[in-house]
Amino acid sequence: MENNNHLKLESQICFKIYTVEREITKLYRNLLEDLDMTYPQYLVMLLLWEKDAMTVKQLGKRLFLDSGTLTPMLKRMEANGIIERRRSAEDERSVIISLTKKGDELKKKAECIPTQLVEDMSMNRNELTLLNDTLTDILTRLQNKK
Amino acid sequence: MENNNHLKLESQICFKIYTVEREITKLYRNLLEDLDMTYPQYLVMLLLWEKDAMTVKQLGKRLFLDSGTLTPMLKRMEANGIIERRRSAEDERSVIISLTKKGDELKKKAECIPTQLVEDMSMNRNELTLLNDTLTDILTRLQNKK
DNA sequence: TAGCATTTAATTGTACACAATTTAATTTTA
DNA sequence: TAAAATTAAATTGTGTACAATTAAATGCTA
């Protein structure tokens, strides 16, 4: 009985995370429409805005994405003129991703996004901190499973 | 300064939800491999195991998915022989999804999944309950935004 | 140093997600 | 009741995710 509830709760939580993720992505979709980028592309840009010129490998490590996802995504971003892709001279295996002028300038337009998002989620600092801790906890456990 | 941290936290939280969602899906991928179904397909099966014969519309309402996602997915599930699709006689616009014998029998094989998953996530009841409440909260706010 | 192992991207193939449009059936209303 | 509006699926097109494989460059070692 008690165990049974426990299991139902598990299903609910996983489904809720799945649903919340899509709802948040939807919020970002609206906010990022102007910048003509998707949420995963925005994540790449956040990394590049913080530190320009990273390899695909480095981006993948930070975002937990492989080249199967990144390569086509980065090509789309290149086609949109916000990043550049070039082979590293030191190691021809690596591809270095860097911001174009246009990509760099988008940073200013993106600055309002976090504020907007927090507003849309309407959560206070305590809630945010608590949730962040819980998620960090889960993530650590999940990623150490493998 | 304080505001700034707040915003960073927001980025972290959204990114963490995005990452946790993918990690959980990976866990399910391993657990569902035997049953030859994906996590979204498993969600459909959960609903059908609970109450057989639902329309695409009803499934979509519960899962927050539209026909653009469901139609091809349900066709794949039909091709795998675990569900049937037939037009409703009362309302020819609706398509009724129901379990096949094979789909119904999979329920037994799926019973161990929640236990396995809770184990893999290694969370106690308190954590699960707290997280569930927080996510419910967020979801309510997000879905009332529109 | 030649050959094997490893590393980094790219490629291939499958499966969601979702916006936007289309098609067909049903309901509403003028 | 015929035309307009609404509803339910399907379709079309774009963009992730990710497993598995391939190709090319680099490192390692016998």
Q: Which nucleotide is nearest to A77 (CA to C1')?
A: D15
Residues A50-58: what's their mean pLDDT? 97
Contact B117, B31 (CB under 8 A): yes
Q: In what order do the strands lie in the sheet with B95-99?
A: B54-55, B95-99, B83-87
CB-based contacts of B137, cutoff 8 Å, min separation 6: A127
B94 neighbors B85 (Cβ within 8 angstroms): no
Give, rounded to a whole angstrom, the gap between the first and last alpha carbons of chain B: 31
Any domain includes A99: yes
CA-nearest residue to B111 within chain A is A7
Whether residue A40 is contained in a domain is answered as: yes
Q: Can you tell me the distance from the alpha carbon of A139 to that of B16, in angstroms, rounded to the nearest whole number? A: 8
pLDDT class for A129, splitting at 50, 70, 90?
confident
Q: How long is the CA B38 to C1' C14 vector, in angstroms?
A: 11
Strands lying side by side in the sheet with A95-99: A54-55, A95-99, A83-87
Query: How high is the pLDDT of residue A2?
Result: 45
List Cα–Cα distances, A10 to B26, B119, B120, in angstroms: 15, 10, 11
Tokens in use for A58?
């480095």
Does residue B55 form part of some domain? yes
Residue A58 lies in a domain: yes
Q: Which of B133, B15, B121, B128 is nearest to A140 (CA)?
A: B121
Which residue range is the domain that position A44 belongs to?
A: 36-106
Mind listing the pLDDT tens digit for each residue in A81-113? 999 999 999 999 999 999 999 999 999 999 999
pLDDT at A61 over 90: yes
- What percent of chain B has a predicted confidence (pLDDT) above 70? 92
B24-45 pLDDT per residue, tens: 999 999 999 999 999 999 999 9
Specify the residue for token string 């994405």.
Answer: A65
Q: How many domains in chain B?
A: 1
Which CATH number do you get for residue B68?
Answer: 1.10.10.10
Residue at B53 is within a domain: yes
The reply to whether B126 falls in a domain is no
Query: Strand D-proximal residues, CB under 7 Å?
Result: A 38-41, 64-69, 72-73, 76, 90-93; B 18, 22, 25-26, 29, 55-57, 60, 66-68, 70-72, 74, 85, 91, 93-95
Q: From CA B32, how far away is CA B117, in angstroms rounded?
A: 11
Is A61 a domain residue? yes
The answer to whether the beta carbon of residue A93 comes closer than 7 angstroms to any atom of strand C is yes
Residue A4 pLDDT greater than 60, yes or no: no
Which residues 59-98 of B interface with strand C at a CB distance below 7 A? 64-69, 72-73, 76, 90-93
Kindly determine whether residue B135 and residue A23, on different chains, have CB atoms separated by under 8 Å: no
Query: Is A69 inside any structural domain?
Result: yes
Among A18, A15, A24, CA closest to A123? A24
Q: Of the ranges A61-65, A118-122, B135-139, which one carries the lowest mean pLDDT score?
A: A118-122
In the block, tokens 């599930």 appear at: B77
| Residue-level pLDDT at B5 | 56
Runs of H (alpha helix) within chain B: 2-32, 39-50, 56-63, 67-79, 101-110, 113-121, 125-145
pLDDT digits (tens, 9 = 90+) for B115-141: 888 888 888 888 888 889 999 989 998
Residue of A nearest to B143 (CA): A23
Q: Residue A1: its pLDDT value, please?
A: 42
Between residues B87 and A9, the one the model is more confident about: B87
> Which CB contacts under 8 angstroms, 24+ apart, belong to B84-88?
B88/B55
Place of tokens 């399910």: B28
